[in-house]
Chains A and B, each alone.
Chain A
Amino acid sequence: MPETWPYLETHQTRDHEPTPYETKLARTLEDIFTKDGHGLSDVIDGLNSRQLRTPTGEPWTEESFRAEMHRLGA
Chain B
Amino acid sequence: MTLSTRDTADHIYAHGLRNQWHPVVPSHFVEPGGMRKVTALGENWLLFRKADGGLSMLADRCPHRGAPLSLGKHLGDRVACWYHGVEVDGTGTVTSVPGLPGCNLEGKTLVTSLPVREVGGAILAYFGDEEHPDPVELTLPGPLADEEISAFLCYAEWEVPWRFAMENLLDPMHGAFLHSESHTMFAGDTTAKFRIRETERGYFFEKTDQRGVNFDWVELCHTGVDWVDLSIPYPPSAGPGGPFGIVGMACPVDAGRTGVFFWRYRRVSDWQRDTWRFLYKTLIEARHWEVLEQDRVILESMPADADQRENLYQHDLGVVRLRRLYQAQAGRQSKAQPVSAR
Q: Report which A residues bind B (CB closer than 8 A).
A: 1, 5-14, 18, 22-23, 26-27, 29-31, 33-34, 38-40, 43, 65-66, 69-70, 72-74
Is B279 in contact with A26, judged by CB distance below 8 angstroms? yes
Is A73 in contact with B156, judged by CB distance below 8 angstroms? no
Chain A to chain B contacts (Cβ below 8 Å), 30 pairs: A1-B37, A5-B157, A6-B156, A6-B257, A7-B157, A8-B157, A11-B285, A12-B154, A12-B155, A13-B280, A14-B281, A14-B285, A18-B281, A23-B282, A29-B239, A30-B238, A30-B239, A30-B279, A30-B283, A33-B237, A33-B240, A66-B271, A66-B274, A69-B271, A69-B275, A70-B274, A72-B274, A73-B277, A73-B280, A74-B274
Residues of B within 8 A of A22 (CB): 278, 282
Residues of A within 8 A of B235 (CB): 34
In the complex with contacts A12-B285, A26-B279, A29-B279, A73-B157 CB distance below 8 A: no
User: What is the bound-complex CA distance between A26 and B239, given in angstroms?
Assistant: 11
Is B286 in contact with A10, judged by CB distance below 8 angstroms? yes
Q: Does B152 contact A (CB under 8 A)?
A: yes
Q: Report which B residues bind A (CB closer than 8 A).
A: 35-37, 70, 152-159, 235-240, 257, 270-271, 273-283, 285-286, 289, 296
Nearest-CB distance from A39 to chain B (Å)? 8
Nearest-CB distance from A47 to chain B (Å)? 12
Residues of A within 8 A of B285 (CB): 10-14
Nearest-CB distance from B9 to chain A (Å)? 27
User: What is the bound-complex CA distance between A40 and B269, given in angstroms?
Assistant: 13
Is A73 in contact with B236, judged by CB distance below 8 angstroms? no
Is A73 in contact with B275, judged by CB distance below 8 angstroms? yes
User: What is the bound-complex CA distance between A13 and B289, given in angstroms?
Assistant: 12
Query: Of A6, A10, A27, which contacts B289 at CB under 8 A?
Result: A10
In the complex with contacts A30-B237, A33-B236, A1-B274 CB distance below 8 A: no
